[in-house]
Amino acid sequence: MTIGATTQPFHNLKLSLGNANVPPFNPSNGSLSMVPLVEPLRTITTAYPSPYPANIYGESVHTAMADEITSLAKGAGATDYVTTHTEVGEAGQPISVLQKGATDTGTTGRAYAASLFEVAAIARLAKAQGKSYGVGAILFTHGESDAASTSYEGDMLTLWSSYNQDLPPLTGQTGTIPMLLSQQHSNPMTAGSTSPATLAEWRIGVDHPGSVICTGPKYQYSYVSDYTHLVNKDYERLGEKSAQVFYQRVVLGNNWQPLQPTAASRSGRVITVTFNVPVAPLAWDTTLPAPHQSANTAWAQGKGFEVASGSTPVAISGVAISGDTVQITCATDLPASGLTVAYAWTTDGTPRASGTVRWGLLHDTDPFVGYLTGMPGQNYAVAFQMNVP
């Protein structure tokens, strides 16, 4: 695909390795320098698996994210706001490969060490120019390889804790470094399957507010034919959404939260789910196809919502927005116990065209428009499952 964001309209930066042979990780190497942040971040590789620095397969979210942060800051009156971006991820690998202490096999296991290397190098170069540098956030886009993991929330918290232990001494900064993460909706793809990791990517922000922030889902974006990776333009949109959350949480210090459920209740055949709504009112997407039309058709009228009694689907006859709630009317009487409500949670087995396998239609009416893409960036509801008392 054509790569966008090939110019830098502001002063955002990335680390250039020059002719340095990496690894070994030597942050004092004289070949290292700061250069304008543009895409691709480094030379594109075709090898797989392939660790840092040969871990770039196309356009990343970073240039769009950086330019959005600067645009938001300058729009609020700042003379400038410069961010530097580091990309050390390893495609297709579980979180164990990204953790502190992972074994560098030559083809995997280098991400954590590369993080510390780049941060130390950038801190040195900044100090040499009389500038300050600190890590604003840890951006985490992950989860497909750990889709079935029941320990994923704890594993993410371990990674976050390790970074908060090891990064501040390199920069001299104090205070907690937040992690910003998005949900995955691609794995597993088999009909009727769900992803505990997707649930964990929402729950960790609820359990550790302010320290870890779920920026929202990715099901609303356009995907390539593997139903896992986004088209380049929508990686830019994901970067812009990440920037919006970064600006709120890191720059302004606000306690930003996604469009997420806060409570569920019932009355007769009606289940009411209350949401935290970033920008009211709630609305339904009218461009995406409705989910559950060819499978799990008991939920065909749910616009992404799902109701179950244990493992048995409960038919939905309609859904309606009422203020900050969605009211789900079921077609039959509800059981006294064992009732759950979910959203964008169960796979039909057939991905939507140019999309992925689990999605819904609920979003807010945030007027946000991306600096680079010029496209809207409403907040879509996170995928979730919760008990109904």
pLDDT, tens only, 113-134: 999 999 999 999 999 999 999 9
Give CA–CA dist 127/125, Å, rounded: 5
How is 160-218 classified by DSSP, letter by letter?
Answer: HHHHHHHSHHHHT--S---EEEE----S--STT---HHHHHHHHHHHHSTTTEEEEE-S
Helices vs. strands in the chain: H and E counts, helices first: 7, 16
Computed over every residue of the chain, the mean pLDDT equals 98
Mean local confidence (pLDDT), 210-216:
98
Distance CA 261, CA 290 (A): 20
* pLDDT tens figures, 319-329: 999 999 999 99
Predicted confidence band at 351 (pLDDT cuts at 50, 70, 90)? very high
**Which domains are seen in the chain, by residue range?**
13-251 (3.40.50.1110), 260-387 (2.60.40.1220)
Q: What is the pLDDT averaged over residues 34-52?
A: 98
Range 374-388 average pLDDT: 98
Q: What is the mean pLDDT of residues 82-97?
A: 98
Segment 221-242 shows an average pLDDT of 97
pLDDT of residue 40 exceeding 90: yes
Question: Does the predicted model carry a pTM greater than 0.95?
Answer: yes
pLDDT exceeds 90 at position 349: no
Kindly write down the DSSP assignment for every residue of 349-379, as one continuous string.
SSPPTTS-SS---EE-----B-TTT--B-PP
Q: Which helix (H) or strand (E) holds 126?
A: helix 111-128
**Taking the CB of residue 306, how many other CB atoms lie within 10 A of it?**
24
Share of the chain above pLDDT 70, in %: 100
